A and B are shown apart, each in its own frame.
Chain A
């Protein structure tokens, strides 16, 4: 069966520090991968998605970047965090070519102080 795991689960970082959140998927190949963010009082906002290694699409202008160095690995990064980067970050995957259902990881709570 397929599983998705992301880490760390909780992160407290000072403004201006770097960020790296990692996500891996097991039990499937060539998945579509996604990074979403849930900010306080808001819905889930799509940040990045990827349909293959090295292929990253950004949905919103922001202080973050994403990379997919391996088929089932998706990394969310920042060189210098802002206060507004605080939120709950969710990695998700879907089968190639599928329309609809996403499978989410456990989430990572980022607090920028």
Chain B
């Protein structure tokens, strides 16, 4: 049972344009959401997070939006840069489970020149 879903396995965006990566979840107990970025043969690195008490969190070029009623979150990257090319994982957890994150399957972002 995939509780966190990233339905787009890949995405190609031109440099300078906006990248939008989507994530859906089914477990209504989730109250904390994160995005990780992963380069090949490396461990994932934390990018940005959002608590369920918010609907938006912004950090530089990265913004995460949370729609609790739709159980949907998205990551916006503006403007996209070639160095943003990587696999992006959405993850979720809920209070009381320490940091036992449930990850999605990832979306491979390719930023083209």
Q: Would you call B102 and A46 a contact (CB within 8 A)?
A: yes
Known interface pairs A43-B103, A51-B98; A103-B4 also in contact (CB < 8 Å):
no
What is the CA–CA distance of A49 and B42 in the complex, to the nearest angstrom? 20
Pick from B41, B95, B104: contact of A43, CB under 8 Å = B104
Q: Are A101 and B43 in contact (CB under 8 A)?
A: no
Q: Which residues of chain B come closer than 8 Å to A104, judged between CB atoms? A: 43-45
Total number of B residues with any Cβ neighbor in A under 8 Å:
26
Q: How far is B97's CA from A102's CA once the two chains are assembled, in angstroms?
A: 13
Partner of B99, one of A32, A59, A106, A109: A32
Known: A101-B49, A102-B99. A43 touches B32 (CB 8 A): no
- Contacts between the two chains (Cβ within 8 Å), count: 67
Complex Cα–Cα for A42 and B105 (A): 5
Partner of A99, one of B45, B89, B95: B95
Closest-CB distance, B11 to chain A (whole angstroms): 16
In the complex, A46→B102 CA distance in Å?
8
Residues 84 to 99 of chain B near chain A (Cβ within 8 Å): 89, 91, 93, 95, 97-99
A residues adjacent to B (C-beta < 8 A): 32, 34, 36, 41-46, 49, 51, 59, 90, 92, 94, 97-107, 109
7 A-B interface contacts by CB (under 8 A): A42-B105, A43-B106, A49-B100, A51-B98, A98-B98, A101-B34, A105-B43
Supply 5 further A-B pairs (C-beta < 8 A) apart from A32-B99, A99-B32: A49-B98, A49-B100, A94-B98, A99-B99, A100-B99
Binding site for A on B (CB under 8 A): 2, 4, 6, 32, 34, 41-46, 49, 89, 91, 93, 95, 97-106
